[in-house]
Amino acid sequence: MPDRGGGPTGPRARAGRPSRRARFLIVTLGVLAALGMAFTMFAGFWTDWLWYRSVHYSSVFTTTLSTKIGLFFVFGLLMALAVGLNIWLAHRLRPPLSAMSMEQQSLDRYRMAIAPYKRWLLLSATSLVGLIAGASAAGQWRTWLMWVNGVPFHQKDPQFGLDVSFYAFDLPWYRFLLGFGFATTILCLIAAALTHYLYGGLRVTSPGARATAAATGHLSVLLGVFVALKAVAYWLDRYGLAVKSSDFKTTGNWTGLRYVDANAYLPAKTILFCIAVICALLFFATLWRRTWQLPVIGFGLMVLSAVLIGGLYPAIVQKFQVQPNEQAKEAPYVQKNLKATREAYGIDHTKVSEYPGKSATKDTGALRDKVADTAALRVMDPNVVSPTFQQRQQIRDYYGFPTNLDVDRYSTKDGTDQDTVLGLRELDLDGVPKNNWINDHFRYTHGYGVVAAKGTAADSEGRPVFIEKNLPSKGDLGSYQQQIYYGEKTTTYSIVGGPQKEVDYSDDDGEKTTRYTGRSGVNLGNPLNRAAYAVAFNEPQILYSGAIGKGSRILYNRTPKDRVEAVAPWLTIDGDAYPAVVDHRIQWIVDAYTTTNGYPYASRTTLGDTTADSLTATNNSRAVVAQQNRVNYIRNSVKATVDAYTGEVRLYQWDTEDPVLKTWMKAFPGTVQARTDISADLMAHLRYPQDLFKVQRELLSRYHVTDADTFLSGSEVWQVPDDPTQDSHSAVPPYYLSMKMPDQKAQAFSLTTTFTPNGRDNLSAFMAVDSDPRTGDYGRIRILKLPTSTAVDGPKQVQSQFNSESAIAETISLLSRGHSKVEYGNLLTVPLDGGLLYAEPVYVRGGSLKYPLLRKVLVTYGGRTAFEDTLDQALDKVFGVAGSSPPSGTGDAGQGPTDPTVRKALQDAQKAFDAGQQALKEKAGPDWGAYAEAQRDLQDALKQAEDAQAKADGANKSDKTGKTVKPGKTDESSKSGEKKQD
């Protein structure tokens, strides 16, 4: 009879097992899950490869990938083999019989449990440590490529006489190898000790010897290797002193050897190296002596020596030799630091000149004539007028401008350069009429056109004088490809070139459409590509959407900084990419840097901290990409361009002498083009980068001195002042400005900044660098140093005096009444005839207008201040030109308007304002009719005050070329364009 009692073959046994169909389903699901995971990993790899191939930088992808894979396998295998070999050796050296103690009886259970799985456990343990070590080594691909491709600097460090390349390229790799050796030895020591303990080679509680002779010899060799590596570490530490950072009481951050390093730490490291070598030999000798007595004594001596020689002795030298006469002891080493730091940051050729800070010319009228020759004072602040561009030239809601516009220069019809404020009308998906997948990724794919305005002019309403405007864009820039598929605001992907037409813009004739004809992006005609991007972008519609057809291409990684960083991951990217019309195309220009933190004796700086200012505090997109990079060498070695239509990236070798760039060009051949390939049109728009300038000005606040005694005293330390126009307590940003320094014969496009003494607000120096590569002085840093005995007002003091002038304060109060808001523009500083001229535009954003308009200009020179409707009026008043009223600071300050018509109009304005406020406070509720009438009266009164003041000041003079247009006069080209736009 069959067994029906529930035995192993009974119904209950069969009921507990899944059926064959269920098992097949489980296996199938497992296989599908594994394939899904594999395809997900493959999709990321495949899309990366397709993207690099589309931008023609596939060699960057393959070189980087092969280097990572090579390092992963080499060091992963080394670690796995080393650990596995030591486990195998410890197992082979196990004693034949274990002592029958309680300890060994307990371990027998573990030995028996793992006996069937010994090979699998060994393979698992070695694989795990190999994977970890390989992943760590793969992250060192930059270090490896720099070591294997390093070129000499042809500069030697002053202490050891080694080429700087040893510290920049070789030492980091040696330190990685040393760290890998330590990690391998420690893991091998732990694995071997555990194996010896498990199989009886080491005993803790058993009677007799604590270790067998074989275990003693094995572990002693590993300990000897560890101590030998420590000896190598001591030797490398000697060279590491040249790039060691420390805090120095008188100078703060310090890099390089000091007196105590050269005379205490350096000999101590040498002595400790010798002791460590002897100690390692004693450990190796246990292979023959089979005792740890001498090695343990040697190791104890090494530890004691490290405490006494490496710690106590330098402290004694510092206390009793250095501190009593620190300046004399440290001066030679400070001199080395001064020289190396100035060379490493490219500030060694800075020209520092004495500047009186006070004009010697008595004829103020002659000074007035010099202003136009000295500087093109900009009244359109690119960091303020973006809302004006937005309101006047956005035209469609799906376009937008960046928060901070850019300053460039373009040739006028007479061939002269003109400072220009410009921005691109980029795509803004928040303004798309109806957000859906098709609209966001197929229909609205690009921006359209450049908008540019004169930097030195405004029309009679205080609006920019546009030289390029409207849709399609027209103006002085000529014809160019206007669609913008790549830009700073373009952060999402688009699918173009297929059956779906794209929106250009709309006008009275309807919607204008286009179809992308560039070769940028990745072709989605291949089903594999579509599946990979559907997975990579987590968007299944890419796989089956009918909007994707023949010729469809996907565009992504579309911001200029992202593209340059992707094709050149060894570069640090400047925080501000800027557009220019070059050779009839819109090109984004991106400055890129090569850096290292291995320049001997050069002090380090943190890029993110050094490049922060009042603009980066409010606009994170302008910050340096590598926020926490600590470097002590930087070069603007590469100028990159990104085509706004095709996305094509080009890298140009800008610094032809930079050894770091030469090293990377060896590692990635063919990626960087020669400097001679830069076209003349592109050269005209290149400029000195802001982030490099900010790093250099931070260093020059201390390293402008070349004398060690002065540097140590700290008496000449400067600081970058806070931006007086902002409440963020952040550093004032540098400003681009066409100006002429005292030793220059003509204006040059420059980047400028100011310095104040440490802890004070008066001006200590003015700094400018020539930013036009077409001149022979490009990159030349000039500093005008003011006398310490004369107090010259700094930016904060000028702003404070401006705010405290009673007449000015009254006008500001009137301008800010109601719903109006006063905004201060860039406070520009210009050296003029021994003195310093300050100019600041003042904007009003008020009433129904949602954008700022230029209403006033502040000018200060030699203690005289003017606050007028236009720049010309303010300059005339400051310099006492006939027909202008006396400036503030000459006896008339605080008296208010003197013209009776002006006073009457201001009184009427005050009455109208009060009436409007009263209308809002009616008990029955706000009387909106009365409020509207009061607002009209207020506007009329303010207009009457402006007109009367202009008449009193003789403002109806003919406009000068390049100057702000006066009230009552209108730039004709602007007027006609604005009429059409309105």
457, with CB counted inside 10 A (0-12, 13-18, 19+), is buried
- Confidence tier at 598 by pLDDT (50, 70, 90): very high
CA–CA separation, 466 vs 41, rounded Å? Answer: 51
The three-point CA angle 645-686-568 to 5° equals: 65
Cis peptide upstream of residue 207 (ω within 30 degrees of 0): no
- Confidence tier at 299 by pLDDT (50, 70, 90): confident
In the prediction, which pLDDT does 557 show? 96
Among the residue ranges 208-222, 562-576, 721-735, 959-973, the one predicted with the least confidence is 959-973
Q: Is the pLDDT of residue 250 over 70?
A: no
CA–CA separation, 827 vs 802, rounded Å? Answer: 11
Q: Is the pLDDT of residue 11 over 50?
A: no
In the prediction, which pLDDT does 682 show? 96
Cα of first residue to Cα of last residue in the chain, in angstroms, is 103
- Confidence tier at 959 by pLDDT (50, 70, 90): very low
Residues 6 or more apart whose CB falls under 8 angstroms from that of 476 comprise 410, 412, 413, 452, 467, 468
In the prediction, which pLDDT does 937 show? 75
Strand arrangement of the beta sheet that strand 553-555 belongs to:
494-496, 553-555, 522-523
Amino acid letter, residue 410: Y
Q: Is the pLDDT of residue 620 over 70?
A: no
**Reported pTM:** 0.85
241-268 average pLDDT score: 85
523: left (phi over 0), alpha (psi -120 to 50) or beta: beta
> In whole numbers, what is the pLDDT of the chain averaged over residues?
86
- Confidence tier at 59 by pLDDT (50, 70, 90): very high
CA–CA separation, 622 vs 616, rounded Å? Answer: 6
In the prediction, which pLDDT does 903 show? 64
In the prediction, which pLDDT does 424 show? 96
Q: Is the pLDDT of residue 579 over 50?
A: yes
Tell me if 330 sits within 8 A of 713, measured CB to CB.
Answer: no
* Six-digit token string for 163: 């080429």
Determine the angle formed by the axes of helices 58-92 and 213-240, rounding to 10 degrees.
150
- Identify the residue with better confidence: 753 or 920: 753
Question: For tokens 């796995």, what's the residue?
Answer: 80
CA–CA separation, 389 vs 630, rounded Å? Answer: 38
Residues 6 or more apart whose CB falls under 8 angstroms from that of 482 comprise 448, 449, 450, 472, 473, 586
In the prediction, which pLDDT does 297 show? 87
Q: Is 679 helix (H, G, I), strand (E, B) or coil?
A: coil
Locate the DSSP E strands across 302-405.
Answer: 351-354, 399-400
Q: Tell me, rounded to whole angstroms, the distance of Cα 402 from its chain centroid.
A: 17
Question: For tokens 């008339």, what's the residue?
Answer: 892
In the prediction, which pLDDT does 364 show? 75
Q: What percent of the chain has pLDDT over 90?
A: 58
Among the residue ranges 87-91, 884-888, 910-914, 969-973, the one predicted with the least confidence is 969-973
* Six-digit token string for 649: 């990236």
Among candidate residues 6, 911, 50, 21, the one with its CA nearest the CA of residue 536: 50
Amino acid letter, residue 877: K
Tell me if 151 sits within 8 A of 663, measured CB to CB.
Answer: yes
CA–CA separation, 837 vs 402, rounded Å? Answer: 30
- Confidence tier at 540 by pLDDT (50, 70, 90): very high
Among candidate residues 690, 794, 695, 699, the one with its CA nearest the CA of residue 750: 690
- Confidence tier at 616 by pLDDT (50, 70, 90): confident
892-911 average pLDDT score: 60
CA–CA separation, 625 vs 103, rounded Å? Answer: 59
Tens-place pLDDT, residues 365-386: 788 889 989 999 999 999 999 9
Among the residue ranges 277-281, 486-490, 537-541, 932-936, the one predicted with the least confidence is 932-936
Q: Is the pLDDT of residue 956 over 50?
A: no
697-703 average pLDDT score: 94
Q: Is the pLDDT of residue 980 over 50?
A: no
- Identify the residue with better confidence: 300 or 61: 61
255-280 average pLDDT score: 94
Tens-place pLDDT, residues 154-193: 999 999 999 999 999 999 999 999 999 999 999 999 999 9
In the prediction, which pLDDT does 969 show? 37
Q: What is the DSSP string of 165-180?
A: HIIIIIHHHHHHHHHH
Q: Is the pLDDT of residue 919 over 60?
A: yes
H helical segments located in 3-100: 11-15, 20-54, 58-92
Among the residue ranges 242-246, 284-288, 361-365, 970-974, the one predicted with the least confidence is 970-974
- Confidence tier at 591 by pLDDT (50, 70, 90): very high
Q: Is the pLDDT of residue 103 over 90?
A: no
241-253 average pLDDT score: 77
Which residues are paired to 765 by β-bridges? 755, 785
Among candidate residues 655, 677, 832, 686, the one with its CA nearest the CA of residue 770: 686
* Six-digit token string for 717: 């330390």
- Confidence tier at 886 by pLDDT (50, 70, 90): low
Tens-place pLDDT, residues 123-132: 989 999 999 9
Among candidate residues 79, 191, 64, the one with its CA nearest the CA of residue 134: 79
CA–CA separation, 690 vs 828, rounded Å? Answer: 16
Q: What percent of the chain has pLDDT over 70?
A: 86
- Best mean pLDDT range from 302-311, 936-945, 957-966: 302-311
